[in-house]
Amino acid sequence: MIYLDHAATTPLDAQVRAAMLPWLDDVDGYGNPASDHRLGRRARAAVESARAQVAALIGAEAGEIVWTSGATEANNLALKGALEFRGLKGAHVVSSRIEHKAVLDTCRYLETQGTRVTYLTPDADGRIAVEQVMSALQPDTALVSLMWVNNETGVINPVVELAPLLRARGVLFHVDAVQAAGKLAIDLSQVPIDLLSLSAHKLYGPKGVGALFVRKRPRARLAPQIHGGGHEQGMRSGTLATHQIVGMGAAFALAQSQVDAEAARQHRLRERLWQRLQRLAQIHRNGDAAHCAPHILNVSFEGVEGEALRASLPELAVSSGSACSSATREPSYVLRALGRDDELAGASLRLSLGRSTSAEQVDCAADQIIAAVHRLRALSPTWGGSSVATDVETTTAFAGDDNVYMYPAPVWAAFGAVRHAGTLPAADNVVCSQVGSPAARAQLELSARCTPEGVVEAARFRAYGCPTSIAVGEWLAGRIEGCSTAVAIPPTAADIRAALEIGEDKAHCALMGEDVLRALFDQIHRIRR
């Protein structure tokens, strides 16, 4: 499998793992960093060394780093902590509609507590302008929260330009820098950001640990969100996980040693991938190409359904958006904020590169995506555009037997090896029916060529929709080919569900199959009469 989902998480680097192991295996590595005996002091020294490593990557002081369980907790501590310290009621916050859920959901919670929040809409390229932020400020604005790099599009927001302007207005500035750290140069000794969230597992460190930068001069004051012991300068209580913190420190030190070279390399690979994908017509690059982090490319494809596209790429680890919100299966709220409609937002891929990504992998991934899009467009009864800008061989099956999305076996088999796709040439003995499922934005077309006796000599289908919709079309065409419509009883939705082992969540696909088949049989019977 080619892994192109580094914006979701990264593999643990071997050097990071080696740094962590003594604190898991060594008989002297289990001390509590808060203890005063030899084992505790040894653990505390490791924690402080890691704190300095994290601070060094972002141009901060070690004492400005507060350990958390990850960036989600860091975002919560920054926003809730700052607003609670100030006083929630009557406060005003400025953020944007394209922030990570960890910020958006926290802002919505703050609204229930009496805080007013202004959510800025990005321009068509996915960027928040300095002027937008400054225009949104009110006399009681307490905080602005804006991500440095968007986690879905890779677009870089103008946080460097904003920071001094907000400092001059006395407004706290929080920045989610999860996708920026280790990808862009960050120097907080020069950029007056007050609060900045970081994560280890996005930078080849372990999961379950992150940090919040809290500026000391001038001091950003926070109310703690976890109480019990007064650890981390009173801002975050709890026994520190030495092995995870050491891992984060090692990961950030490693990133600092190669940030410039790796950013340049990934930029070249990203542009190589984009150039190759442009062999396809009618695709859209989401986000400002001139202001984009080097590791993220987000592309939408016209004429294909998103779930079917992702299922057609079993040998690629890619994302349709943020991993933290993918469980909802809703089109990306970030892309919708950029003006993409639900279908185009759903038919998008976030392709994020990493240290292990090679030019050969990029080329192979592009070829697989091109083949998948071409195949799905050829299957679609709704596609009226050209499929590709250059010749690409039409395929009726995709490579790879790995059912990574865990579809029912009959659905996966029918979707992966289509044998009855297409249309039949117009003739007096050819009938065609088409139905749709507006809620699912799906279409299914079935055509048949019949003898005067009503025997189906040939059947074909076209479908636009999820893999189950396509599987239903394939199964129906194969099922009726050779049968006599004079005596056959059309399969019902229940029959289709049983044959393809379709669950309740995809029952609409079976209903669509029943409707299109009944409509086809009705036409055949009318012709015979």
Interval 250-294: pLDDT, tens: 999 999 999 999 999 999 999 999 999 999 999 999 999 999 999
50 with 198, same domain: the answer is yes
> What's the first-to-final CA gap in the chain, in angstroms?
56
* Cis preceding linkage at 467, omega within 30: no
- Residue 397 falls within a domain, yes or no? no
Q: If you average pLDDT over residues 427-455, what whole number do you get?
A: 92
CATH assignment at residue 153: 3.40.640.10
Domain membership of residue 295 as a residue range: 262-379
Q: If you average pLDDT over residues 141-169, what whole number do you get?
A: 98
Average pLDDT, the chain: 93
Structure tokens at 7: 């914006």
Phi, psi angle pair for 12, to nearest 5°:
-70, 120
pLDDT of residue 145 exceeding 90? yes
506 with 452, same domain: the answer is yes
243 with 339, same domain: the answer is no
Total structural domains within the chain: 3
Helical ranges in 291-332 per DSSP H: 306-311
- Residue 71 falls within a domain, yes or no? yes
Domain final position from 255, 288, 313: 255
Count of C-beta atoms within a 10 Å radius of residue 284: 16
182 with 235, same domain: the answer is yes
Interval 364-415: pLDDT, tens: 999 999 999 999 999 999 898 755 443 334 446 665 567 777 899 999 999 9
199 with 321, same domain: the answer is no
Q: Which of 107, 292, 324, 466 is catalytic?
A: 324
CATH assignment at residue 520: 3.90.1010.10
- Residue 56 falls within a domain, yes or no? yes
pLDDT of residue 500 exceeding 70? yes
- Residue 75 falls within a domain, yes or no? yes
Map 154-179 to HEC letters.
Answer: CEECCHHHHHHHHHHHCCEEEEECCC
Rounded Cα distance, 50 and 251, in Å = 9
Given a contact cutoff of 8 angstroms between Cβ atoms, the answer to whether 288 and 155 are in contact is yes
What is residue 253's predicted lDDT score, i.e. its pLDDT? Answer: 98
CATH assignment at residue 370: 3.90.1150.10
> What is the DSSP track for 192-261?
--SEEEEESGGGTS-TT-EEEEE-TTTTPP---SS-SS-TGGGTS-S---HHHHHHHHHHHHHHHHHHHH
Report pTM. Answer: 0.93
Rounded Cα distance, 528 and 71, in Å = 68
Q: If you average pLDDT over residues 230-235, what whole number do you get?
A: 93
269 with 231, same domain: the answer is no
182 with 330, same domain: the answer is no
Per DSSP, 128 falls in state -
Cα torsion 147, 149, 153, 157: sign: positive
Annotated catalytic residue 450: no
- Residue 3 falls within a domain, yes or no? no
Count of C-beta atoms within a 10 Å radius of residue 68: 27
pLDDT of residue 328 exceeding 50? no
- Residue 438 falls within a domain, yes or no? yes
Interval 160-214: pLDDT, tens: 999 999 999 999 999 999 999 999 999 999 999 999 999 999 999 999 999 999 9
Domain final position from 379, 398, 428: 379
